[in-house]
Structure formats: structure tokens, C-alpha cells
Amino acid sequence: MNTNYDIIIVGGGHNGLVCAAYLARAGKKVLVLERNAEVGGAAVTEEIAPGYRVSVASYLISLLLPEVVNDLDLPRHGYKVLGRNPSSFTPLPDGRSLLMGPDAALTHAEIAKFSQRDATAYPQYEAWLTRVAECIEPLLLEPPADLIPLPAHWRRRTWVQKLRELLRGRRLYQALRGMGDELPQTIELLTGAARPILDRWFESDALKATLATDAIIGAQQPISAPGTGYVLLHHVMGLAGGARGVWGYVEGGMGAVTQAMARAAVGFGVEIRCNAEVAEILTANGRASGVRLMNGDVLQAKALASNATAAVTFSRLLPAGALPASFTAAVQCIDYSSASMKINLAVSELPDFTCLPGKAEVGPQHRGTIHISPTLQYIERAYDDANAGRPSQAPILELTIPTSVDKTLAPAGHHIVQMFVQYAPYRLATGLHWDALREGFADRCIAAVNDYAPNFAASILHRQILTPLDIERRFALTGGNIFQGAMSLHQLFSMRPLPGWADYRTPISGLYLCGAAAHPGGGVTGAPGRNCALEMLRDL
């Protein structure tokens, strides 16, 4: 058994695999350690009953960097995206519905049912978001410019590092300057709340409520909170679905993404060990030197990269006193607020929506994301419950039916339904606990869908429920936060994970962060893993 490596990656989630592949491609001897029986982290596919396979946590693809797909040649290793058209369906209590997607004519006609003004404005809104995304996207491919005047003792930089920061700052300045007269609106989108932005663009509540869910996915915030504008933008920046902002399914579920990454990494020479949980990151003379596994094995390396959350990396895996006290205190202040829950279902038939009937064959209402969030006020009320420490009485639901285009996941005629739920707060009011609430709240979510598709509840054959507590336990995601830390303004760009440490390095020489805890944050992007690998190669 090898015990000495150039680099050890702690955690075999998608960013860890991407980081390992880039490092091995550059000739480094790399080991990936994964505590579970298979790699993939939150992007895995598993059976919930014989013949029924679900994407357990992460469930759609769009944000994965084209650079990662091409550099690792993922299609050759089994990565295949299946498009969705339409990509969005919103049933409404009054019997109407809204379909949207890449078909511009269909989207225009559907929005016009609610507002001709909105139908005209929507292409302009999309074009504006595209311009902002094209402005920001290059900044996601490198460490963010860190121009904050922190105390000298917080972190010392060489003159070469300072010069790099100035050059990155210049690129940020040039990118923003490219927005011209739209810069004020761009700044608002990057820093402000989603609701006033949507209110200015549109008048139809159905359209605004459909768009607003992207602003609060994975966050315990209302759509009126500052910072939700950026989350809205974050979810429309990807191209992996075939076009900007269009999300797709991956054939074989999201586990097919990470299995393709694993095959690519192994092809470059990476060694992967599963069922190998790290107990401690070892240091010597202020430098990372290796790891000790739960079984007692000690493995040595010249450098380490952690794909775990900042809380797990710095508070659980490093020995007490290994970090400066000021850094440790800052880590303890990272916001992991979360209110997301996942319910995976095997069903005997498609949901038959009252507003758009049909269950014998897959229809347009089944292919895209199905939104159960009819109004902005509905969304705000759902947050009010979570803010009081209770699961939403009327939850916000996003349903996807991957078997509408992927026939590999269920027996013929049967389907998989994936339900992403907001708000299910990780921190509950006194006297409440998720182990006691999970089944009853899942019943409430299913009943909410049944109000629009009366055959839904009776069609369920098997179900898998992941509360925020389950997400934390299974995937080691602190606080159940799917982004490894809230995507709020004070935890983005040069402040992610902490001010002064946004370049994937840490106070421990030779120890890096390669996961979503680092810039640019959550989602299946591969960006943190890729960027971290390039910075490690620069140092090594």
C-alpha cells in the first residue's frame, strides 16, 4: 500500500475529483480519500427500491464549467446531458398554468396569457441577465480579487502575490466597466434583493413567483433579502444544459457525472480509496504533512486539499491550536443557515394535473421543473414559518421527473419524481426535531402536489426523505447547507470562505480548500476544484 503522495484530496465529491484529475494530468501523484462506499458526494445515483434509481441530492445540471467537461473529456467517460423542453411548468390554483423554456415562441405565448407587457419584457430581461453573466463568468475561473485592507498579521503576502491581486482587481474593474449604463442595475443584481428587481421588470405574479424560486434555492432567506439577487443570477449562468440558464438531466442520474469524473481522474493516474474516512489532517512545523484515517493508517503527502466544508476542515479535522485564534474565531462565524429538504419518489404513473390533464404519455408539463409556488406572497409566507423555526405550512416545491427523458432510471411505465422543498429549516424551534417531523412534513409536501394533481399521492410506491439533518449526516454538509455555506453577499467572492483567504490557500502551508466552501461557491460547477488545482500547481 502506497503511503507517500504528492497530494491527498480529502473528500471524493465532484470538486475533489475535478481537483485530483487536474493535478494528476499535470503529473502529480494524487490520492482521493472518500469516507463513503462510492465517490460523488452529493451528486450520486442510488436505488431506493429494486429498479428505481434516483439522484439522491443534487438532481439537475447546468453550471458545470465547459472547461471541466472538455479538459477531462467527460463525454468519453459516460457524461451525457439530456435537454428539457419546456424547462418549467407552474400550475396555478385558478386552473391556469405557465410553461416556459428554450422555445421563445412558446414562452412568449404562455406569458402573454397573463400579461402582454411581461411577454414583451421577458426576452429583454433574459438578455440583460446574459450580459451580466458574461461579465461575471470569467471571474469565476480564477481566485477573486482580494483588495480588502486586512491587518498585516491576518495574512502576509509576497510582492508577487500582491501584484497578482492588483491584476485580478483590474480584471474585475474592466469587467464591470463593460456593463456601461447598466452598471447600477448590475450592482443591484449582485448585491440586492430579488423581489424589487422582479417587481420592476414584470407585473404578473405567476411569472415573478416562477422566477423567484431561483433566488432562494438552498437559502434560508426571503426573496426580499439582500443577496438573493446574486443567487438568482447564479442559477442562470450555466451552459451545461445546452443553452444559458437551461437546466438538463444527466442520463443515469447525477451519479453519472461524478462517475465520469472518477474515470477521467483514474485515467490520469489518480488513486481513489472509498470507505477511507479521514480522522485528522496532520501537520508538522506549521505545514500539512498528511492524514490519519479512522482505521489508524497514516498517509503522507507534500500537500493536501480538502473538499469538506470550512467548519469540518478547520474545526474537526485539524488539531486544536493549529490555526491562529483570529482565523478560528472567523470560521465559527460562517453562516450555514439552510432550509432545504429532498424527497425522492418512485411512482406508478405520471402526475395528472387538473390544469393540464394527461398521464398516459409524457407531456410538456412533465419534462421541466414543476413549481408549486403560485405567488410571491406564498413564498414570503413560507419563509415566515421557517424564520419562526417551523417547516413551512404551505411549502415551496420544485418537482422534476427525470424519467420523462431518461428511461434508464425506472421500469417501463413507471417514473421517478424528485422533490426539492423549501422551507425546511435546519434549526427548529424549541421542542421540535427533524427525526420526529420528517414523515409528517413529507406527507404535507405530497398533499400540496396532490392539490394540483389528484392522482399523485396514490401513485407513490416508494419514498426517500432527506431532511436538512439527514443531509448533514450523510454528506457531511454543515448545517445541511447544500452550498457548503450560505451564498450571501458577505460570503461571496473575496469573502469566501473568509476575507483574506479566497485564493484556496489556508493558514496551514500546503493545505488548500477545493470544495464549494471556496470561491465561487455551490452548485455542480467544478470551478472550486479546477481553480484550486491550478493554484496548487502554481505553488508546487
| Nearest residue to 264 via CA among 12, 21, 453 | 21
Largest CA-CA distance found in the chain, in angstroms, rounded = 68
Q: What is the pLDDT of residue 79?
A: 97
Are the C-beta atoms of 103 and 364 separated by less than 8 Å? no
For residue 178, name the pLDDT band (cuts at 50, 70, 90).
Answer: confident
Q: Are 326 and 315 in contact (CB under 8 A)?
A: no
3 state DSSP class of 59: coil
- Asked, as a colleague might, if the bond just before 184 is cis with ω within 30 of 0, I would say no
Residue 415 amino acid letter: H
- Burial class of residue 296 in the structure, from the number of CB atoms within 10 Å of its CB (0-12 exposed, 13-18 middle, 19+ buried): exposed
| Interstrand relation of 249-250 and 415-422 (parallel, antiparallel or unpaired) | unpaired
The answer to whether residue 460 scores a pLDDT higher than 80 is yes
pLDDT (mean) for 208-233: 92
Nearest partner of 506 among 317, 348, 242, 350, judged by Cα:
317
pLDDT in tens, 375-407: 999 999 999 999 999 999 999 999 999 999 999
What global pTM score does this model have? 0.96
Domain ranges of the chain: 4-43+61-81+253-333+481-539
User: Which of these, 280, 238, 293, lies nearest to 69 by C-alpha position?
Assistant: 238
The answer to whether the CB of 288 falls within 8 A of the CB of 303 is: yes
Question: Using CA atoms, how far apart are residues 510 and 539, in angstroms rounded to an integer?
Answer: 9
Confidence (pLDDT) at 156: 81
Q: Which DSSP letter does residue 505 get? A: B
Q: Is the pLDDT of residue 1 over 60?
A: no
What is d(CA 500, CA 504) in angstroms, rounded to the nearest whole number? 10
Beta strand spans in 269-360 (E): 271-273, 278-284, 287-293, 298-306, 341-347
Beta carbons of 9 and 299 less than 8 angstroms apart? no
| From 157-161, 212-216, 478-482, the region with the lowest mean pLDDT | 157-161
Q: For residue 161, with 0-12 CB atoms within 10 Å meaning exposed, 13-18 middle and 19 or more buried, which class applies?
A: middle
Task: Look up cell 402582454; give the residue.
Answer: 116
Task: Tell me the C-alpha distance between 263 and 74, whole Å.
Answer: 9
Residue 2: predicted pLDDT: 58
What's the average model confidence in pLDDT over 424-445? 97
Mean pLDDT over residues 191-205, rounded?
A: 96
Q: Helices 434-450 and 468-475 meet at what angle, rounded to 10? A: 120
Cβ distance 224 to 382 under 8 Å?
no
Cell numbers at residue 74, please?
467527460
Give the whole-angstrom CA distance, residue 296 versus residue 252: 36
Cell readout for 466 is 432527506
479: left (phi over 0), alpha (psi -120 to 50) or beta: left
Tell me: pLDDT of 147 over 80.
Answer: no
Return phi, psi of residue 362, to 5°. -65, 125
Residue with cell 503527502: 301
Residue whose entry in the numeric block shows the C-alpha cell 489508524: 296
CA 333 to chain centre: 21
Q: pLDDT tens-digit profile of 59-80?
A: 999 999 999 999 999 999 999 9
Euclidean distance between the first and the last CA atom of the chain, given in angstroms as a whole number: 24
Query: What's the pLDDT at 95?
Result: 96
Q: In whole angstroms, what is the distance from residue 123 CA to residue 217 CA?
A: 23
Strands (E) in 401-534, as ranges, are: 415-422, 460-466, 511-513
**DSSP, res 143:** P
Mapping DSSP onto H, E and C, the string for 355-395 reads: CCCCCCCCCHHHHCEEEECCCHHHHHHHHHHHHCCCCCCCC
Class of the domain covering 4-43+61-81+253-333+481-539: alpha beta
Residues with Cβ within 8 Å of residue 371, at least 6 apart in sequence? 88, 89, 90, 209, 210, 213, 397, 398
- Contact (CB, 8 A) for 110 and 98: yes
- Residue pair 529/18 in contact (Cβ under 8 Å)? The answer is yes
Q: How far apart are CA 241 and CA 427, in angstroms?
A: 34
Residue-level pLDDT at 145: 87
What is the pLDDT of the chain when averaged over all its residues? Answer: 95
* Position 10 pLDDT exceeds 70: yes
